[in-house]
Amino acid sequence: MFEQLVDKLPVGIGIVDESFNVVYLNEFFLDRFPHELRNDYKQKPITSLFDGQEKFLKRRLKSVFVLQHPSFSYWEQRPHIFPFKSSRPITGEETQMYQNMEILPIKDKASGDKFACIFLQDVTAQASYFRAQQKLSEALKKEHAAQQKLIRKLDKAQSQLIQAEKMASTGQLAAGIAHEINNPIGFVAANLDTLGQYATHLTAICNGVYDHLNNFSEEMKEQLEALFNTHHYDLLKEDIGELIDESTDGLTRVKDIVQNLKSFSLQTAEGIQTIEVCGLCDQLISLISAQYGKPQYKLDCANDKVEIMGDPGPLKQALMNVMVNAAQAIEDKGFIKLSVIDKGDTVAFKILDSGCGIASNNLKRVFEPFFTTKPEGQGQGLGLSVAYTAIEKHQGHISISSKEGKGTVVEITIPKQITATVQTEDEKTALNE
Amino acid sequence: MSTVFPLDEEQRDALQELLNISMGQAANSLAQLIETKIDISIPKISAVTPTQLYSLLFETDNAFYTRQSFLGDVHGEVMSVLSRNGLTEVASLMDYDEPLSKEDIQEIILELCNILAGACLAGLSEQLELSTNLNMPTLFQPDKDNFDELQWQHSLVMEVQFAVTVSSFSMRVVFCLDDASLKRMKNTLDELLE
């Protein structure tokens, strides 16, 4: 009865002697045996009956006999010790049985002979469940990562929106002011021009009188001379032209600034078009130098004209933000060099400044929205993130390297032609979701 | 450790002696199996709090951890700390082929601690005439917070270190007993001392 019970147990039980020869195998083993071996297995080494794991089985059996201590093996590390088929041969997706094995030392009480008892558990169901769980958890992890990415994208989109709104209102304001200033500048310029002509006429009249002084009577001559002297005619004559010229120059500068202000306001949604970047950079420098006078500016364009396809508004904004940062990094003396390098399919802008530089721990955060080292109220920390977004939109890339106390180099590379954007589609979906 | 020590002087000396013998046997078993010389430290007996146990065991750099519980006349757990260094040499002594896969390494670790913990426990049980059965070992990744929240106050720990002479491999085995088992062991020690 006991033997029947052991035979019917749902675990594999096998007993081997010290030379690893099979003494007993229960039905669990026999059922899974090749048919021709079913009646011919006793007194054969167990390691020869089952291929594949001979070395491992020998090692474990030796350990059990030597140490007289149980040995364990798990499916996780060694899934298939015996070449048995899965318990679900028709419907299951596992083709080989996953096994846990335990080998116990036993002793024949009568003879004192040592044996090893092999317990084999079919854990295919657990293993496949566990693996399914693992797959699930991996899938979840992946999904989680994807969601995180989306969230980051949303964050970015939101900060871009905030910035865009800010820029739009600032742009509107700038455009409004520019328009208001333009009108008075117009008539001041016209008047000044006329005034210049009048001044020329006036000096001509006075000069004529002065030249003919000797033709007047003595009394008249004295009176006229006194008049010229009292009003410092010599000085007047010399200064008046210069004053008017200087004023005209100043007015031209005011006009330039207003013009730049207008073209830099984001109001003009121009879309993708041809941009001549050398002229753009020149314009940019004159605009920045009006605001930040201390640094020396240098523009370095290898060619007279470099043309790219792009959206002028964001592109200008990006360059502007980088340039403003460079200008603000220079406290007293220093230089800013803007180089435009034509690389064939791409154009590189290199902005080099000899300013205060960026600490290395801040360097990787500079493109983060709202990251700033400026005192509260003086910077929103959006400049470079806006630049980054704009450059990304142009399928270019922006990189920055800096040494504290030495200066900073920002390099922006943009393809001359924008190919159909997949990214924009992505962003659209991100926003819609 | 000034806390109430669960064993008196005589019991402690007796246990120390028993440990010396059983750990020596364990080292011999391992030496026999992998055919190399094994160095063994003098076993240490102490009482620890959960937090102390954590720092005793799991603040070792570059190590693998396992645990294995035992039942029978006494109940408890064996925890092992195995160095990553020198594991490949031990693997080749154990007849594993290089390169070792992740699964091979796990199997070697589990087998090593099964052999050592089993031998130590078998020796100790034999000396104390207690019967014990060791369950299968598992890999263990302890979390300090969980340790700080464990319910027990103090535990008796028996610690011993094995080192393979020809390689940089070393391994620490720590036995912990639960309260009821500690009582039973104290009684057994007293019986032996009489």
Q: For the whole model, what pTM was predicted? A: 0.56
Mean pLDDT throughout B112-127? Answer: 85
Domains of chain B with bracketed CATH: 9-193 (3.40.1550.10)
Check if B123 contacts A (Cβ < 8 Å). no
Question: What confidence score (pLDDT) does residue A168 get?
Answer: 62
Closest chain A residue by Cα to residue B27 = A67
Between A41 and A232, the more confident residue is A232
Q: For residue range A36-58, list pLDDT tens digits in order.
A: 777 778 888 888 887 778 888 88
Residue A194: is its pLDDT beyond 90?
yes
Give the list of residues 6+ apart from residue A46 with CB closer than 8 angstroms, or none: A14, A16, A20, A21, A22, A57, A61, A118
* Whole-number percent of chain A with pLDDT over 90: 21
How many whole angstroms separate alpha carbon B175 and alpha carbon B182? 12
Q: Which residues of B touch A72 (CB under 8 A)?
A: 110-111, 114, 136-137
Between A394 and A52, the more confident residue is A394
Q: Which residues of B touch A77 (CB under 8 A)?
A: 103-104, 106-107, 110
Question: What confidence score (pLDDT) does residue A431 get?
Answer: 44
Between A261 and A180, the more confident residue is A180
Question: What confidence score (pLDDT) does residue A260 get?
Answer: 61
- In the three-class reduction of DSSP (H, G, I as helix; E, B as strand; rest coil), residue A233 is classed as helix
Considering only the beta carbons, identify the residue of A67, A73, A78 that sits closest to B115: A67
Residue A352: is its pLDDT beyond 90?
yes
Q: Which residues of B touch A68 (CB under 8 A)?
A: 122
How many whole angstroms separate alpha carbon B70 and alpha carbon B134? 4
A170-179, A204-213, B42-51, B163-172: least confident range: A170-179
Q: With CB atoms and an 8 Å threshold, state whether A67 touches B118.
A: yes
The nearest CA of chain A is from the CA of B150 a distance in Å of 28
Question: What confidence score (pLDDT) does residue A193 get?
Answer: 92
Check if B13 contacts A (Cβ < 8 Å). no
28-67 of A, contacting B, C-beta below 8 A? 55, 59, 62-63, 66-67
How many whole angstroms separate alpha carbon A391 and alpha carbon A55? 62
Q: How many CB atoms lie within 10 A of CB A172?
A: 13
| Contact predicate B123/B22, CB 8 Å | yes
Q: What is the pLDDT confidence band of residue A116, given thresholds at 50, 70 and 90? A: very high
Q: What is the pLDDT confidence band of residue A164, given thresholds at 50, 70 and 90? A: low
Mean pLDDT throughout B127-133? Answer: 85
Question: What confidence score (pLDDT) does residue B96 get?
Answer: 83
How many whole angstroms separate alpha carbon B55 and alpha carbon B1? 14
| Contact predicate A290/A257, CB 8 Å | yes
Question: What confidence score (pLDDT) does residue B120 get?
Answer: 84
Q: What is the pLDDT confidence band of residue A353, given thresholds at 50, 70 and 90? A: very high
Report the run of H or E that residue A57 belongs to, with start and end. Answer: helix A54-67
Q: For residue range A269-307, list pLDDT tens digits in order.
A: 567 888 888 888 888 888 888 888 888 999 888 788 888
Residue A422: is its pLDDT beyond 60?
no
How many whole angstroms separate alpha carbon A420 and alpha carbon A429? 16
Question: What confidence score (pLDDT) does residue A81 get?
Answer: 86
Q: What is the pLDDT confidence band of residue A369, given thresholds at 50, 70 and 90? A: low
How many whole angstroms separate alpha carbon A71 and alpha carbon A56? 12
How many whole angstroms separate alpha carbon B151 and alpha carbon A369? 48
Residue A351: is its pLDDT beyond 80?
yes
A38-52, A228-242, B59-73: least confident range: A38-52
- In the three-class reduction of DSSP (H, G, I as helix; E, B as strand; rest coil), residue A309 is classed as strand
Q: What is the pLDDT confidence band of residue A412, given thresholds at 50, 70 and 90? A: very high
